[in-house]
Amino acid sequence: MSSEDSVLIVGGGPAGLRAAVDLAEMGFNVVLVERRAELGGAPIRWKYHTLAPDMRPTEEVMSPLIDACKSNQRIKVYTSSVASSFSGSPGEFSVEVKGADGSSSTHRVGAIIVATGFEHFDARVDPRYAYGRAPDVIGINELEGMLRSGKIVRHDGSTPRRIGFVFCVGSRDRSTNPWCCTVCCGVSIKQAIELRRLLPDSQIYMIYMDIRTWGLWEKLYWDSMEKYGINYIRGRVGEVYYTGEKLLVKGEDTLVRGPIEVLFDMLVLAVGMEPGEGTRQAARVFGLNLNEYGFLKPRQPNIHFDSGVGGVFLAGACVAPMSIEEALEEGSAAAMQAAKVLIRSSKQRVPI
């Protein structure tokens, strides 16, 4: 395999997978490096049941990409591996890939795509929600697994009746993360609709500051009220106590300017997205800039793929919080940029 027809992709989530498949289908070779044991990124790791906005089963979106990466001869997959060192210039990079089992291999590639994604905010960091201390306080990531199993149960096996969603947990807050994760409103509302379908007797209250179901995702918000009777409380939660039986949620309904203290059976936290250690590791290896929040910093904010390091491109939620539809498109966009580098460098060598 010569460097001028190969691309190394770091991260096997939606963005990295899309880039790998596009490049392979264009006739280039791909080395796909994934830190975890399985491909698929967050949707597979957290067992997302369906995807917002259309509630399509996650497999419909992810399986064709994962299967293509596994079966396409042009894509060489290294799972449980990371890129450990890098040298060279665009068109002729040399990258060392190290496996968790101690194995190591060196690859000559023409371009690199970094698509290391995000981690969920750990709600234990903000003690007011009692996450990790009280039972039946879960994250939207954990609820996806429950929805997949079709069993929505409290710690004692009983069915919850009154369920609250708390928005912006670990987001839009100077003491945790000041950015908006952009998808957790839509994802929470999608989950609330799925809960109402599974548990028609449930009462669901969404405790929010602003509803940010941008673009066409707005339909989820409308449907949640018009077809599913989901209730919205504008305000924030101040404290959560476990009474030994239920969760006492203290907060304010800002539309009545008054405190509320209501018992819930289950509380779902819309935990945000933040850059993870995987992104920092890739930044160290490839010499990439991080912005003030720890996301990878593109050379200019409105062109995500341009890392500022020649021949190294960025895609997906390692640059900013985003949806799967956006991460997939960024994967394609980065693949296009990588292809440009490969085509240019091969022309230099073999004049036509």
Partner 1 sequence: MVDGPETHSAKRDDESKEKGKFIVERDYIEPTRIVEPSSLTAEGVDISGRWGTIVLPRTINEFDTSIYERVKRLPGGSHIANCWQCGNCSAICPVAHEHPEFNPRYLIHIVKMGYTSEIERLKDSVYLCSGCGLCSSVCPRGVDPQHVMIALSLAFHAKGVL
* Binding-site partner at residue 20 among partner 1, ligand FAD, ligand SF4, none, CB < 5 to 8 Å by type: none
Strands (E) located in the chain: 6-10, 29-33, 50-51, 56-57, 75-78, 81-89, 92-99, 104-109, 111-114, 119-120, 137-139, 162-169, 203-208, 231-234, 237-242, 247-253, 258-264, 266-271, 273-274, 312-314
CA 39 to chain centre: 13
Contact string (CB under 6 A) for ligand FAD, positions 268-287, x = contact: -----x----xx-xx-----
Q: Distance between CA 68 and CA 228 in Å, rounded?
A: 38
**The binder of ligand SF4 chosen from 19, 66, 130, 168 (CB under 6 A):** 168
* 3-class state of residue 308 by DSSP: coil
In this structure, are strands 247-253 and 237-242 parallel, antiparallel, or unpaired? antiparallel
With tokens 């609250």, the residue in question is: 164
Tokens of 7: 């691309």
Q: Does 298 bind ligand FAD (CB under 6 A)?
A: no
Asked whether 16 and 53 are in contact (CB, 8 A), the reply is no
Q: Does 230 bind ligand FAD (CB under 6 A)?
A: no
265 — phi, psi (to 5°)? -90, -30
Window contacting ligand FAD (CB under 6 A); options: 63-71, 203-211, 301-309, 324-332 = 324-332
Q: Which is nearer to ligand FAD, 12 or 298 (CB)?
A: 12
* Binding-site partner at residue 255 among ligand FAD, partner 1, ligand SF4, none, CB < 5 to 8 Å by type: partner 1
* Binding-site partner at residue 316 among partner 1, ligand SF4, ligand FAD, none, CB < 5 to 8 Å by type: ligand FAD
Asked whether 161 and 153 are in contact (CB, 8 A), the reply is no
List residues binding partner 1 (CB under 8 A). 162, 203, 205, 221-222, 225-226, 229, 231-234, 253, 255-256, 258-262
Least distance between ligand SF4 and beta carbon 214 (Å)? 9
In this structure, are strands 6-10 and 29-33 parallel, antiparallel, or unpaired? parallel
Q: Which is nearer to ligand SF4, 24 or 211 (CB)?
A: 211
**The binder of ligand SF4 chosen from 43, 110, 160, 272 (CB under 6 A):** 272
* Binding-site partner at residue 258 among partner 1, ligand SF4, ligand FAD, none, CB < 5 to 8 Å by type: partner 1
Q: Does 171 bind ligand SF4 (CB under 6 A)?
A: yes
The DSSP line for 92-131 is EEEEEEEETTS-EEEEEESEEEE----EE--GGGSGGG-T
Q: Does 118 bind ligand FAD (CB under 6 A)?
A: yes
Q: Does 184 bind ligand SF4 (CB under 6 A)?
A: yes
Q: Does 323 bind ligand SF4 (CB under 6 A)?
A: no
Q: Distance between CA 54 and CA 170 in Å, rounded?
A: 26
Binding site for ligand FAD (CB under 6 A): 10-16, 33-36, 41-43, 48, 51-52, 82, 115-118, 120, 140-141, 144, 183, 187, 273, 278-279, 281-282, 316-317, 322-325, 327
